[in-house]
Structure 1
Amino acid sequence: MSSIRAARLRKFLLAPAALTSVAFVNMPAASAQQARDPLPPVEVTPAQSRKPAKPARSEGRPARRATAAARPAAVPAAQKPVVPTAPQTPLNTNVVAESASRLGLTVHETPATVEVISAETMREQGYRTVSEVAQGAVGVTSGDNPAEPSAFSMRGFTNSQINTLYNGIKIGPQNMTSRIMDTSNLEAVEFVKGPASLMSGEGAAGGAINLVTKQPHTGPIRNEADFSWDSLNSLRAHYGSGGSTNIQGLDYRIDISRSSLNGFADDTNTKTLDVSSQLNYRISDSLKIWGAIEYREDRGKAYWGAPLVPIAFSGAHATSGIVSGNYVSNYNGTNLGAITIDDRTFNTNYNVLDNRNVAQEVWLRGGFELKLAPDLTLKSQAYGYGAERDWFNNEVEAFNANSNLVDRERFYVAHSQRLVGNITDLTWDANIAGLDNRFVTTLAVSDLDFVRPGAANFPHDLVTLVDPARGYYGLLTMQQQTARIDNEALSFEDRLKLTRSFALVGGLRVEHIGLDRNSTDVNGLEKANFPFSKSWVPVTGRIGYTWDAVPGLTFFSQYATGADVSANNIFLLAPTQPLDLTTSRTYETGVKHLFWDNRAEWSFSAYDILRKNVYAAAGGMQLNIAGRQESKGVELAASVRPIESLRLWGNIAYVDARYADYNFVGGSFSGNTPPNVPRIVANAGASYRFFTPWPVELGIVGRHVGDRYNTDANVVTLNAYTVADVYAFVDIPKTVFNAVDQARLTFRVRNITDKRYAIWGDPFYPDQVLLGAPRTYEISAAFKW
């Protein structure tokens, strides 16, 4: 084993040198190539990663959280500033999304559905966390279940079927490694729809979401500061600064943000701290080096939801429009009959008094970009990531129809995760038989160690539904799991322009994933069938085209494939579970249109996704075979500025997602919809700006989410809901604050109708659902100078 590790380490260290040697050998040929209509130059910057996940009830616990050996999926590489060089378009399609392609293509030029939500949009729409950003994207829903914060649903897939990337780097399954994250330090959030394993490796059956931190820029130093307070006494503050230093070629960026977000339930709070910084040093016109460091932490007292309660028990306190259905408790087996959410539990916290959710993360990244020849560029980055996570909570809240009390059960788990890796790209712009061509080859390697101490006992008690005695966690005994994951990936991407308006875009990725797992009991003795090792060699890719029928109007189609672990996730696989990878594929076609002098833009896509060899959580507590998962749908987004002062925008997504061949002893879920997948999601908004001496803008944003289920059994429905936010801001002229170039005061009302609704359901804890926040008021101030 040690010789294998040494060989892999040598590969890791020699890979960039090998690519560099190949590049120098080909320099004369590359220099001779003359592109007739060259693609824009590829200029890159760094990448990054994040969060925790969930298990199935294996090794003595709801697998959900057994989380974390975040594995290093060989992933996207050094990443380029998302700030567009051209003016921002209504749907932001002139931005380069590195998580969608390493070819340096804009969203408009990519043969796939890609959405980029910029820092400007996050600020105007008041998106405080990544989960709120996702709720504004086309067809995306999210929930901050504390077992797996920042969980997403997209195109019929959820949680660890969607890769979450940090500056293009994956640290592990979403439901094991993601955390609540403030948006203040982010430049953009990128959404890549459909199977995307070409770019981010195993786990991207439903797509990928990339979080991009703010980058240095060349030019005068710019500073910004913003503050906010809301009616729940939540506070946020951020300071950022960046620009060129007195040292020729040296640019910097630093951001510091702090937030204390109070929940609507009693005694719930999340505090975050994020410090990110980066230096770019352009040594010459052909060589740039850079380095980045980031520290993040979040500390919370968590809300785990409201229990499902019999309507017959709640009586006059029963609510309608939040949940519906008939339910037999998954936890205690009692028949609740027709269920509801009791209005006396809207603000009730059933967690123990000494609960905690804590995470600390550190990133170190650095690399270089070297232009070997006019048409040949080498980029490389090395990265290191460390995380410590800790959950210490009462997590189960299950109403017991026999006692009319609420069953509670404790759970503890911690993660200690270490990840190192390197990603190296070689980009070649060429002219093949008079046709412009760009080719990128990428070598990515990583090594991840994950240690997971977890509970071996699960203290239980019963409390009243109303005004429960919260108590304390009690006795804790622990056992331990470990995982080590090695990953090596080689990928190729190419864009060939057959004509000035028609281009073929394709790519192929071959990766090796090696897993070593062990699990010991409370006495430190290895459990049955442990340790064990497993390896996979998935091959995934994409082929597609773009056709600019007329300037601004682009048609596209693609066929893409993905792969992910069929049961649970790669950090928690047990030797008795299915150890195969699923395969997924998508057919997609669509159109993107920018017109009316860049004042209007719309996009449409239709897709068909099939995922085979699926294992899913049946009723929340065990894994069952669901042979196939099928997802078909359409998405439409549009934005227009008919006059300078008026903006209108909206999007709608329809998806038909269902299981097939999902049979097990005692029943079948074939034809059922996966949890947390609504058929319809729609957003719409409008704003009007009054160009007075102190300009004022008024806006409204509405969101509709259709019915969803909280488990594969589809017996409890999270009812559809519609919410709306309104806002008004005033831009204060510089003459008022001479030292400040821009100042803005904003007043916002979230959920203006005070709608009560269920925002998310956890299939591993199906006896409870998370409620959405009630109406809140917020005031904020932002300054730039």
Structure 2
Amino acid sequence: MFTSRIVRPRRILLASAALTSLVVVDMSAALAQQARETLPAVEVSPPQSRKRAKPAARDAAGTRRATARKPTAAEVAPRPVVTNNAAPTPLNSNAVAESASRLGLTVRQTPATVEVISAGTMREQGYRTVSDVAQGAVGVTAGDNPAEPSAFSMRGFTNSQINTLYNGIKIGPQNMTSRIMDTANLEAVEILKGPASLISGEGAAGGAINFVTKQPHTGPIRNEADFSWDSLNSFRAHYGSGGSTNVQGLDYRFDLSRSTLNGFADDTSTRTLDVSGQLNYRISDSLKVWGAIEYREDRGRAYWGAPLVPVAFSGSHATAGIVSGAYISNFNGTNLGPVTIDDRTFNTNYNVLDNRNVAQEVWLRGGFELGLAPDLTLKSQAYAYGAERSWLNNEVEAFNTTTNTVDRSRFYVAHSQRLVGNITDLTWDADIAGLENRLVTTFSSSYLDFVRPGAANFPGDSVDLVDPDRGFYGLLTTRQQTARIDNEALSFEDRLKLTRTFALIGGLRVEHIGLDRNSTDVNGLENAGFPFTKSWAPVTGRLGYTWEAIPGLTFFSQYATGADVSANNIFLLGPTQPLDLTTARTYETGVKHVLWDNRAEWSFSAYDIVRKNVYAAAGGQTLNIAGRQESKGVELAGSIRPIAPLRLWGNIAYVDARYADYDFTGGSFSGNRPPNVPRIVANAGASWRFSTPWPVEVGITGRHVGDRTNSDANTVTMNAYTVGDVYAFVDIPKTVFNAVDQARLTFRVRNVTDKRYAIWGDPFYPDQILLGAPRTYEIAAAFKW
């Protein structure tokens, strides 16, 4: 590993911008010529082989080609998710997820576990936020801890060990940059399991989750509108429109959504606004340009959880089945003994009255796709991102057995983030000794500037457990931290088909990360050890295969590696913290099977992951040397439609995740489980559609999450829980609403048994637990025309 800076990112970005600009300038002549030509209809399809000798398709599904030629660049839209021309499958394995591979492979053709949750599934299952979406996936849990909104756990890894991507672009570690996001403007959510640095770079030790905004389509304009309201007085509204314009070759998409999601705790809510749009312009068969813009905003009055309370103090108000174990307060050091959640605090908000949790984000993206030759395609995307975030809250709620009150502590922090970058792919289809081969070479570069004003003092007080006097934040003094990060990466990914059914797939990524950090005190003077500079050069990759043993039945295996920052995240590294990268590797094998004329599908995977050189949260802002993290598990998912009106689906995941070599002064956590990692996660659902004049469908879904802990000490357990939802929707005939083509009314009951449970715990704030929402009722209406 070397430490010299390779190239300053500004030069790289200028070169990338020059390349993009050159192509755009050259377009003017093409525009004049192509404007007089009739453009062919564009059909979105996955990449196909160019070989003419064998007309039968060579992909895993075994479907036949419509033509022997390679699709033009315009036929493969520059979008993260496209859908195969083949019939959709129950587990959506015909989708193409670019966050899992840049080769244009479907989920079945990728030697890894990948899930793609479509916009249709989000609507049908009532997924309102990206955390809802994640919890419906195989083995994934989520919690909207306000310090780290939209936090995820999968395969034994959590938070910033999982890369969060937006249209394939990483903006920083999850625990610093993620926000609560409504699903209305999303076309899909892609989930790639296990170390995945080949595609998304540093931070993907546990995998990657990619949020894909809705894209333009070629064809008649389609409009949609959605509305919903629930018993907590939450409200959501969305309008979207897209299709081809009167300008030949120009397609558009526009979406506007607004929501107010009220919490079950007093005076808690999140308000979101999302406006997104994109234009695609097909200049010719071989050239397509596009541009996109998005503005997102969320404003919350945050719920920070319920404090752990001694069973002896709560008495008859002590609850069973939410938490268990004994606890010594990390904040005030008092011994709580056996703990519980007091039922008088279910709806209590301990936050100050002037609290805020706000973020504003702007995206600008644009690029082109150019067919340089029949077998050579160049694709480039330039992007700019800006965000302003602010937290001003009481964040600590720690019961004190000496005073029998709740000790509180305030925290303030703000972010000002600017990111610019470019991703360029060159795809080459070729024959190697008569064998089909596809090679994608990717160069990416970015420059990130991050300014973090934060609290220099932490006002605190103590309040009653029941009916606390919430008060106000109080005196605030600030200090400032900065981080400047440049990143350049060169990667290669290749697929070689040794036979019609067997393919080798591999890739290699060489990355350079440069960090400049500074920190000042309240007087603007630099703190000891600052400023400092550090650089890394991780090399990561993947090697695997897929084998379609019989049509529709595909076996796969892979070895993949990842890298991430060993201590917390790259934005906050200090000069005295460990500055090395961790390394992660996975061995995975499995099978994916679609059968019964696309009416049934199942998948299975088994994996073994090891992450080395780990540092973990020890409460507050301190870190422990965790040494090594090991994770072994299996995942099984299936869906079937045995008869036309009935659909059944389910998934289950088991993971054995634990620390090793986790020793520190005063003890050892070796053998303990990481926080927020259940051994068992299972989901299941069933629906039945009645063929009535107004078609009605009823359904039920259930979710089971096993025991979890809220800190590395494993002294407090968040107990296992099972919750269920029921729903019914009515499709209203067009004769009722002549102005619309489709209309649907949906009635939904969430958490139908009104189960009280712990959904998430923050290891930095182990004195409190986030509770799941109680039973709520919802009505929704959706229209398409």
Under a length normalisation based on structure 2, what TM-score does the superposition of the two structures give?
A: 0.93
| 1:638 aligns to 2:638 (yes or no) | yes
1:84, 1:38 → 2: CA distance? 14
Structure 1's unaligned 5+ residue stretches are 25-30, 46-76
Preserved CA contact (<8 Å) 1:33 1:375: no
2:8, 2:276 → 1: CA distance? 34
1:32, 1:208 → 2: CA distance? 31
Equivalent position of 1:422 in the other structure: 422
Equivalent position of 2:186 in the other structure: 186
Q: Residue type matched to 1:733 in 2? A: P
| 1:549 aligns to 2:553 (yes or no) | no
Equivalent position of 2:487 in the other structure: 487
| 1:349 aligns to 2:349 (yes or no) | yes
Equivalent position of 2:471 in the other structure: 471
Equivalent position of 1:396 in the other structure: 396
How far has the Cα of 1:628 moved from its partner? 0.5
Preserved CA contact (<8 Å) 2:50 2:429: no
| 1:111-510 matched pairs, under 5 angstroms | 111-510=111-510
Please give the secondary structure, in 2, of the residue aligned with 1:96: strand
Preserved CA contact (<8 Å) 1:244 1:252: yes
- Distance change (3 Å), C-alpha of 1:44 and 1:600: farther
1:174-209: CA deviation from partner (whole Å, max 9, x where unpaired): 000000000000000000000000000000000000
Q: Residue type matched to 1:350 in 2? A: Y
Equivalent position of 2:11 in the other structure: 10
| 1:624-663 matched pairs, under 5 angstroms | 624-663=624-663
Please give the secondary structure, in 2, of the residue aligned with 1:629: strand
1:209-252: CA deviation from partner (whole Å, max 9, x where unpaired): 00000000000000000000000000000000000000000000
Preserved CA contact (<8 Å) 1:424 1:442: yes
- Distance change (3 Å), C-alpha of 1:539 and 1:232: same
- Distance change (3 Å), C-alpha of 1:440 and 1:468: same
Preserved CA contact (<8 Å) 1:81 1:215: no
How far has the Cα of 1:624 moved from its partner? 1.0
Equivalent position of 1:588 in the other structure: 588
1:134, 1:98 → 2: CA distance? 18
Higher relative contact order (CA 8 A, sep 6+): 1
2:351, 2:72 → 1: CA distance? 49
2:627, 2:140 → 1: CA distance? 25
Q: Residue type matched to 1:570 in 2? A: I
1:437, 1:103 → 2: CA distance? 10
Preserved CA contact (<8 Å) 1:620 1:711: no
Equivalent position of 2:92 in the other structure: 92
How far has the Cα of 1:627 moved from its partner? 1.0
Q: Residue type matched to 1:172 in 2? A: G
2:78, 2:656 → 1: CA distance? 36
Equivalent position of 1:615 in the other structure: 615
- Distance change (3 Å), C-alpha of 1:294 and 1:328: same
2:72, 2:637 → 1: CA distance? 29
Which consecutive aligned stretches of 4+ in structure 1 deviate over 2 angstroms post-superposition? Answer: 3-22, 31-45, 77-87, 618-621
1:776, 1:733 → 2: CA distance? 28
Preserved CA contact (<8 Å) 2:83 2:94: no
2:584, 2:182 → 1: CA distance? 32
Taking only aligned residues, the RMSD between alpha carbons, in angstroms, comes to 2.0
Aligned length: 746
How far has the Cα of 1:79 moved from its partner? 3.4
1:739, 1:87 → 2: CA distance? 29
2:546, 2:389 → 1: CA distance? 44
Preserved CA contact (<8 Å) 1:34 1:430: no
Equivalent position of 1:674 in the other structure: 674
- Distance change (3 Å), C-alpha of 1:439 and 1:564: same
Q: Residue type matched to 2:285 in 1? A: D
1:451, 1:16 → 2: CA distance? 25
1:121, 1:135 → 2: CA distance? 13
1:630, 1:78 → 2: CA distance? 37
Preserved CA contact (<8 Å) 1:43 1:80: no
Indicate the larger mover: 378-387 or 31-40: 31-40
How far has the Cα of 1:691 moved from its partner? 1.1
Q: Residue type matched to 1:11 in 2? A: I
1:504, 1:360 → 2: CA distance? 43
1:361-414: CA deviation from partner (whole Å, max 9, x where unpaired): 000000000011111100001000000000000000000000000000000000
1:319-366: CA deviation from partner (whole Å, max 9, x where unpaired): 000000000000000000000000000000000000000000000000
| 1:683 aligns to 2:683 (yes or no) | yes
1:183, 1:751 → 2: CA distance? 20
Structure 2's unaligned 5+ residue stretches are 27-48, 60-64
Equivalent position of 2:526 in the other structure: 526
Preserved CA contact (<8 Å) 1:42 1:103: no
How far has the Cα of 1:35 moved from its partner? 7.5
Preserved CA contact (<8 Å) 1:44 1:79: no
Preserved CA contact (<8 Å) 1:491 1:508: yes
How far has the Cα of 1:10 moved from its partner? 2.5
Please give the secondary structure, in 2, of the residue aligned with 1:642: coil
Q: Residue type matched to 1:672 in 2? A: N
Equivalent position of 2:599 in the other structure: 599
Q: Residue type matched to 1:539 in 2? A: V
| 1:33-48 matched pairs, under 5 angstroms | 36=54
Preserved CA contact (<8 Å) 2:73 2:371: no
1:519-561: CA deviation from partner (whole Å, max 9, x where unpaired): 0000000000000000000000000000000000000000000
1:705-760: CA deviation from partner (whole Å, max 9, x where unpaired): 00000000000000000000000000001010011000000000000000000000
Q: Residue type matched to 2:536 in 1? A: W
1:110-135: CA deviation from partner (whole Å, max 9, x where unpaired): 00000011000000000000000000
Equivalent position of 1:739 in the other structure: 739
Q: Residue type matched to 2:649 in 1? A: W
| 1:712-731 matched pairs, under 5 angstroms | 712-731=712-731
Preserved CA contact (<8 Å) 1:619 1:712: no
Please give the secondary structure, in 1, of the residue aligned with 2:215: coil
How far has the Cα of 1:21 moved from its partner? 11
Please give the secondary structure, in 2, of the residue aligned with 1:175: helix
How far has the Cα of 1:15 moved from its partner? 4.6
How far has the Cα of 1:622 moved from its partner? 1.7
Equivalent position of 2:535 in the other structure: 535
Please give the secondary structure, in 2, of the residue aligned with 1:606: strand
Indicate the larger mover: 758-767 or 615-624: 615-624
Q: Residue type matched to 1:638 in 2? A: G
Equivalent position of 1:57 in the other structure: none
- Distance change (3 Å), C-alpha of 1:295 and 1:537: same
- Distance change (3 Å), C-alpha of 1:220 and 1:15: same
Equivalent position of 1:53 in the other structure: none
Preserved CA contact (<8 Å) 1:16 1:424: no
Preserved CA contact (<8 Å) 1:112 1:558: yes
Equivalent position of 2:711 in the other structure: 711
Equivalent position of 2:774 in the other structure: 774
1:4, 1:78 → 2: CA distance? 32
Identity %: 83
- Distance change (3 Å), C-alpha of 1:466 and 1:612: same
How far has the Cα of 1:595 moved from its partner? 0.2
How far has the Cα of 1:20 moved from its partner? 12
1:450, 1:371 → 2: CA distance? 37
Please give the secondary structure, in 1, of the residue aligned with 2:642: strand
2:619, 2:477 → 1: CA distance? 28
2:9, 2:619 → 1: CA distance? 41
- Distance change (3 Å), C-alpha of 1:348 and 1:433: same
